[in-house]
Amino acid sequence: MNAQAMPDMDEQARAILRGNDRGGYTVPTAGLYPYQWNWDSAFAAWGFATFDVERGWDEIETLFSGQWGNGMVPHILFHRPDPGYFPGPEVWGGIGPVASSGISQPPVAASFARRIFDLDPEAGLPVVARLYPKMLAWHRWFMEWRLDQGAVCITHPWEAGRDNTPDWDGAMAGIDPKDVGDYTRRDTFHVDPEMRPTKYDYDRYVWLVRLGRRLNWDEAALLEQNPFRVADPTMTFTLLRAQRDLAALGRILKEDVSEIEAAIAVLEAGAETLWNAELASYDARDVRSGQWANCVSNASFLCWYAGIQNPAMEAQYDRITSVCTYPVPSHDPSSDRFDPKRYWRGPTWGIMNALIGIGLQDCGLVERAENLRTSTADLIREYGFAEYFDPLTGDAAGGGTFTWTAAVWLGWASPSRPKGAF
């Protein structure tokens, strides 16, 4: 690859962000995902900030415009009607100030807010002052309603962002969607159905949405009645990291961060309840049944992002990455449930690689971090800005011209990425 090609990749990534910009918020990709998604927007903000810090802040502030009164920040904000998406706002019945879904997503916003702040502290200070109490309220909501033994739980597969991962298979089997009714999926109009969750999965997704709607998204009622509650590595590790980053911002603002420090201690202990000794990996745990998922996933490797060092995870990482041309796969390739092209049952995701790579770097595992960054850069350069990729062949999968893949290129994978801030 010649030197001239590098700026071209950077400009392609910027063009994707601009093309998916809807004015204050960014869609993941046109058609397939026509609204504002929670953690997608945090990555979008990161990407924008590499060339337009103010636009990066706008993305996060628009996300928090949909925050509910209880502190929850929804996983989708339906800013404009789009009949091409299901389930839309009329199905969810969100109760916040902006039409929305009724569940959240991995809380990475505070972590990216800290990184955007580092790019221009003077300009960022008033924005952080506005966002800080909102981020604190969101984190408090997780601590109040989503903990089991200190680990963070999800109440819907979409909440973790890893919709159809094998991590949820056991908990999903416990749902009987007999009253789900008729519905028409829209995702398979845009993407090969072989790359998407199955009808078996979708029936249960929709059933859980309708349960939440029937209970008017009352967290106490859902805690009692929802059969799906899984302690999740993604949520636990990202919230632990986000709490540390929020505490750092709080100290800059001269806020009392004792509540956050106490939460960090709880989450550190909770993370260890996700250690599956027999599997020798961090794993998802079904709270209702008490059963392990017995899955080594890319979420397992977010332990480093959370600041947790465990030599056994280095061995797992080396084993799994050695059998993939383009790691890190979303599920262990040695598993009979591995599917290299079906969404979160095997494909490699640039966003997860970036978080894993940042964690590896922060924990001093520098060679692994650089190898992962380089292989991800090669993957994107060769196969484009796809939603996700086959870890064995590199083939692009899912949606194209994808916002968060472009953002990962600009913020982490590109050789011309900003130095020092990320």
| 110 CB neighbour count, 10 Å cutoff | 30
Distance CA 404, CA 44 (A): 6
- Both structure tokens of 26: 């960014």
Q: Where does residue 398 fall: left (phi above 0), alpha (psi -120 to 50 degrees), or beta otherwise?
A: left
The structure tokens 């997608």 sit at 40
First and final C-alpha spacing in the chain = 24
Q: Is position 163 annotated as part of the catalytic site?
A: yes
In three state form, how does the secondary structure of 278-319 look? Answer: CCCEECCEECCCCCECCCCEHHHHHHCCCCCCCHHHHHHHHH
Which residues, 6 or more positions from 320, have their beta carbon under 8 angstroms from its beta carbon?
Answer: 296, 327, 328, 329, 332, 333
Measured torsion, CA atoms of residues 259, 133, 114, 268, in degrees rounded to the nearest 10: 30
Distance CA 128, CA 112 (A): 11
The structure tokens 């850069």 sit at 377
148 membership: H or E segment, kind and range: strand 147-148
Distance CA 403, CA 18 (A): 9
Contact assessment for residue 166 and residue 334, using Cβ atoms and an 8 Å cutoff: no
Could you say which DSSP state residue 102 is in? S
Pick the catalytic residue from 163, 232, 332, 339.
Answer: 163
The structure tokens 């992002």 sit at 305
Pick the catalytic residue from 187, 232, 332, 387.
Answer: 387
- Both structure tokens of 129: 């002052």
Q: Is position 169 annotated as part of the catalytic site?
A: no
Catalytic residues: 163, 387
